[in-house]
Structure 1
Amino acid sequence: MPRFAANLSMLYTEHDFLERFAAAAADGFKAVEFLFPYDYSAQTLKQLLLENGLEQALFNAPPGDWAAGERGIASLPGREQEFRDGFRRALEYAAVLGNDRIHVMAGLLPDESMRARHQAVYVDNLRCAAAQAAKVGVTVVLEPINTRDMPGFFLNYQAQAQGICAEIGADNIKVQFDCYHCQIMEGELSVKLRRDMAGIGHIQIAGVPDRHEPDLGELNYPQLFELIDQLGYKGWIGCEYRPKGNTSAGLGWLRAWRERSGQA
């Protein structure tokens, strides 16, 4: 059965961040993910996981200057050492929090004419990250992101990300399949899930087009959940959406799925 992780960067924002762990656990979540842990000590976050019976599913490596608009540095020429230092820091946090997935954001491409140079840096950095992560049983995941939400992002399409993983050739580098981003950019989610499942390391969900609850919008998530199950995916499915209102009140989709699948 699909297993759902609450994304605490988007869900439960009616609470302060450190209070969101308990709120997620109270709604029956068994795992959490979030963008970045670095504003808090790893020990503080680990204690919240333990107190609330939660697993850490995923977080992101340091993205550069997020407040200034940077969205990852893995593909940025001249930032190689900063990326590698940041990834080592992410591994240190993962060693405490217990997650075996770290998302690496590629960064923004200033101009299409620069793609080859950025891709060379990206591949080299990812090879280094994958080698370091393999020593401690961690998988590096890459996420294609839609150009509406994040104009200029380097990585936009599933085949593009799968191709980069194939070029690197490491067993512990995979694609983060975000259903929301994929639907906006290319659609045919069922086709791509069937085609790429062996190379998918993490899945995330949200309603399309407004990124609210997954039962709002154009995607048939019950059908997709059944397909994901049939394809043998055993990882967490991250709930990375912006609730239309109160987070707990909007979890009718999850309660309905649990009842339907006998998890209630």
Structure 2
Amino acid sequence: MKFSANLGFLWTDRSLPDAIRTAKAAGFDAVECHWPYETPPEQVKAALEETGLPMLGLNTVRGNPGENGLCALPGRQPEARAAIDQAIDYATAIGAGAIHVMAGFADGPEAEAAFLENLRYARRNCPAGIDLLIEPLNRHDAPGYFLRTTDQAAAILKQLDMPGIKLMFDCYHVGRTEGDVVTRLKALAQVIGHIQFASVPSRGAPDQGELDYRFVFAKIAEMGWSQPLGAEYKPGGATDDSLGWLRSLR
């Protein structure tokens, strides 16, 4: 099993290039991030080349303070498309494999129409080698977020019917909202582009909580999944002190 360090939560006390180097030294096989835009892309690219780690993905920006994405917000198309363009440019510059298109807090048919339109724009303008990802967020952490369940996300993907737009399946979010994580993984295997994990319900390291990741990871392996799984958890202290799972669960 391979693992990716999500540097939005891990080693946040370091610059992004230094966090990439630290992830390599800790034994991770890849990295991913949230919003790298304050770091010059050439510095990130240099760290990736130095370590040999792939950058699996990054997010579009959240928007104004208190927002959580722009792409499902009716009437905000210029800002949403600027965020998409920014993410495409940065991902291209560093060789990232995917962009998480953040929907934002919205509801109803107008929000769905805006999200579909912005995803079509993103796919038309995104290089073929970069996937676009959509991710349901749980109602406890992100009440009012447009994408709430994997069924809703799958319906969006079916409406789009475009190659290169996939589901980001976060075991933590699914565990908090839907449960039955392994069954959902198997049912959605054909549309999943990336898998993330954290303990349920605390979002801590995966060797705690109610979800048995030894079992989950074994089932993911049985599915034939070979890409690195994204460790997107909150370490609750020094990241290095939270990495016992990396040895015991690998």
Indicate whether the TM-score tops 0.5.
yes
Query: Which residue of the partner structure matches residue 28 of structure 1?
Result: 27
RMSD of Structure 2 on Structure 1 (CA): 1.4
| Structure 2, unaligned runs of 5 or more | none
1:91-122 Cα offsets, whole Å, 9 max, x none, are 1111121122110110002xx5xx11111111
1:116-137 Cα offsets, whole Å, 9 max, x none, are 111111111111112222x432
Q: Is the 8 A contact 2:16 2:36 kept in 1?
A: no
Could you tell me which amino acid in structure 2 is paired with residue 24 of structure 1? A
* Per-residue deviation, 1:230: 1.3
- 1:129 aligned to 2:126? no
- 1:157 aligned to 2:142? no
Runs of 4+ off more than 3 Å: 14-18
Find the aligned partners of 1:235 and 1:167 in 2 and give their Cα distance: 26
Q: Is the 8 A contact 1:197 1:233 kept in 2?
A: no
Could you tell me which amino acid in structure 1 is paired with residue 211 of structure 2? L
- 1:79 aligned to 2:76? yes
* Per-residue deviation, 1:236: 2.5
Say which of 205, 212, 236 aligns to 1:244.
Answer: 236
Instruction: Please give the TM-score of this superposition, normalised by the length of structure 1.
Output: 0.90
| Structure 1, unaligned runs of 5 or more | 259-264
Worse-superposed segment, 179-188 or 39-48 = 39-48
Query: Which residue of the partner structure matches residue 181 of structure 2?
Result: 189
Where does 1:136-147 land on structure 2 (aligned, <5 Å)? 136-147=128-139
- 1:119 aligned to 2:112? yes
Could you tell me which amino acid in structure 2 is paired with residue 42 of structure 1? P
Worse-superposed segment, 218-227 or 12-21 = 12-21
Find the aligned partners of 2:129 and 2:77 in 1 and give their Cα distance: 23
* Per-residue deviation, 1:14: 4.0
SS at match of 2:169: strand
Find the aligned partners of 1:232 and 1:195 in 2 and give their Cα distance: 14
- 1:88 aligned to 2:88? no
Aligned length: 250
Could you tell me which amino acid in structure 1 is paired with residue 30 of structure 2? A
- 1:51 aligned to 2:44? no
Query: Which residue of the partner structure matches residue 216 of structure 1?
Result: 208
SS at match of 1:92: helix
* Per-residue deviation, 1:30: 2.3
Find the aligned partners of 1:93 and 1:16 in 2 and give their Cα distance: 17
Kindly, what percent of the aligned residue pairs are identical? 39
